[in-house]
Structure 1
Amino acid sequence: MTLSAPKRILVIDDDEDVMEILRIALMDEGFDVIFTNKAGAIAAIEKLCPDLVLLDVQRSELPLMGTEMCSKLKKRHVHNHMPLILVSSGTNLGTLAKDCDANLFISKPFDIFQLLVHVKRFLD
């Protein structure tokens, strides 16, 4: 029996508390979790080839809004299949997610158990 590698999730957020909660919850579920809040987030996606991205809409340290990054990624053929979930405390998330072709949006504050259900659904 061969063991498969854990699914890789890239979290792009600038809220340290949110990142810590996600780190604990996702790693406890056996996912390989990588975090970034740097300007090289698109390059990180290119290099790491995550199975799923959790993307904050508004990040103070990045030049692109999450929706702009989402649109750029979804327009690239190699990434248009990759599930991308917008996570934000902002308003109009449904419209923003639809406009940038995100697979789902989750409002902050979020229920971590519900977020895990969605993540697992996309990765099964």
Structure 2
Amino acid sequence: MNPVPAPQSVPARLAQIALYGVAAAAGVGLLTLIVSAVLNGGLTRAAAADALGWGALILGFLSGAVVYSQSGQSRIESTMRARLGEGYRAPGLPWPQILAPLVGAGVLSAIVFALN
């Protein structure tokens, strides 16, 4: 029997989203730095800033892809239910999945700003 998890407080949930965002920044930043070092035969400060900028861009696109996917899914669901004559209220956006990559993009952008 699985116990029901206790609901999280708002500060705890925001801290969890921030932690996931920093983890995403670390993962994507490390990956882009490795790719840049392999492609350029080394890693300079300018190349690192450029690679981390690309990482921030990737995380920003990931966040946008989540929003685009959710809106398309809601549109399809509402169309299908309308054909059946049912009313449908689309669920809200999945904010934790949207904000975590944006936090990661912000962290990488801050590092790029510090490197330049």
- Which interval holds the TM-score relative to the shorter structure? under 0.3
The structure that is strand-richer by fraction is 1
Q: Does 1 or 2 have the higher relative contact order (CA < 8 Å, sep 6+)?
A: 2
Q: Of the two, which has the highest radius of gyration?
A: 2
Q: Which has the higher helix share?
A: 2
Report the TM-score, using the length of structure 1 for normalisation.
0.23
